[in-house]
Amino acid sequence: MKKMKKLLLLSCITISLFSCSKKEISETPEQSNTKNIYVGGYESNGNYNVAKIWKNGIATSLTDGTKNAFVSSVFASGSDVYVAGSEGETAKFWKNGVATSLTDGTTTAYASAIFVSGSDVYVTGRENGIAKYWKNGTPTSLTDGTSRTSANSIFVSGSDVYIAGSTDGGVAKYWKNGNATSLTDGTTRAVANSILVSGSDVYVGGYNSSIATIWKNGTAISLTDGRTEAAVNSVYISGSDVYATGYEGNTGKVWKNGTVTSLPVGNINSRGNSIVVSGSDVYVAGAIDGRYKFKLSDLAKAQIWKNGEATSLTNGTNYAYATSICIGN
């Protein structure tokens, strides 16, 4: 479970015309009325975690529960739904429920995010400590393996491929077409969880020294004061507004242009993992803790919030986690 604890706290991201948590969406009222809400994550069966996707609250299992598995990212493109994650030691993605293995399972690997651009499917993740991305199944290494590094988020803009991640030593960075830019110098521990591009601006969300942080074109914007552990797990741009979700202490948070609100669930601990905006509606996926501490072994329910109103996707019998939210047609 130590491995799964690390993996499942990754930010989960991705986008397209009707898509997941990172891109400005333009839509008509007719389109808005016909949209479906897709949420990815996992739910324990008592022995292993089962990778799942919820469509408008109805769950579909992607794995059979004989190995630990999870969904890290969901992406809708037209009538197709793409999902990235892992099963056992194998990085995978699913298209409309049909699995494709990206690795052969002989080394530890996982897929952290997925993005579809035209007919091309991009997936990023990690194999044997090396940050990678796969384009239509063909891998490209972002590092040489001398430093263990994670790739946590991917965004494609035209012919440019952007990926956010961090070294295991705690340097936050992003890559543009394979060329790395460090966002921090390693004197404090930092992680980049989410990336998106709006026009010529590159936004990266994560944390730096326990401070929830957004980097805009490499310049850090602090969202919290550092007195309590905090992080940005997902960033989204809608028009001129910058949205983010994550947590501060044991409470899930949403930031809009730096102004913070809490994700309400009474006195229960919460966490926001993925955010998407459609019209005037703000959707967040995450989890709530029905017990006394917010840690992976105590997570009770996969959760979504629409404009702050909470809906549970699971009943709390088995712990569950929602990692990514996406809007599709």
pLDDT at 70: 97
For 8-56, give the secondary structure using H, E and C.
HCCCCCCCCCCCCCCCCCCCCHHHHHCCEEEEEEEEECCCCEEEEEEEC
Amino acid at 192: A
- The list of the chain residues with pLDDT below 50 reads 1-19, 21-32, 291-294, 296-297
pLDDT at 26: 30
What's the pLDDT tens digit per position in 135-169? Answer: 999 999 999 999 999 999 999 999 999 999 999 99
Q: What is the pTM of this model?
A: 0.90
For the chain, give the secondary structure using H, E and C.
CHHHHHHHCCCCCCCCCCCCCCCCCCCCHHHHHCCEEEEEEEEECCCCEEEEEEECCEEEECCCCCCCEEEEEEEEECCEEEEEEEECCEEEEEECCEEEECCCCCCCEEEEEEEEECCEEEEEEEECCEEEEEECCEEEECCCCCCCEEEEEEEEECCEEEEEEEECCCCEEEEECCEEEECCCCCCCEEEEEEEEECCEEEEEEEECCEEEEEECCEEEECCCCCCCEEEEEEEEECCEEEEEEEECCEEEEEECCEEEECCECECEEEEEEEEEECCEEEEEEEEECCCCCCHHHCCEEEEEECCEEEECCCCCCCEEEEEEEEEC
pLDDT at 111: 98
pLDDT at 31: 38
pLDDT at 265: 74
What share of the chain has pLDDT > 90, as a percent? 82
What's the pLDDT tens digit per position in 280-320? Answer: 999 999 999 854 444 544 557 999 999 999 999 999 889 89
pLDDT at 2: 34
Contact between 180 and 142 under an 8 Å Cβ cutoff? The reply is yes
pLDDT at 13: 37
pLDDT at 33: 54
Contact between 299 and 311 under an 8 Å Cβ cutoff? The reply is no
pLDDT at 72: 98
pLDDT at 269: 87
pLDDT at 138: 98
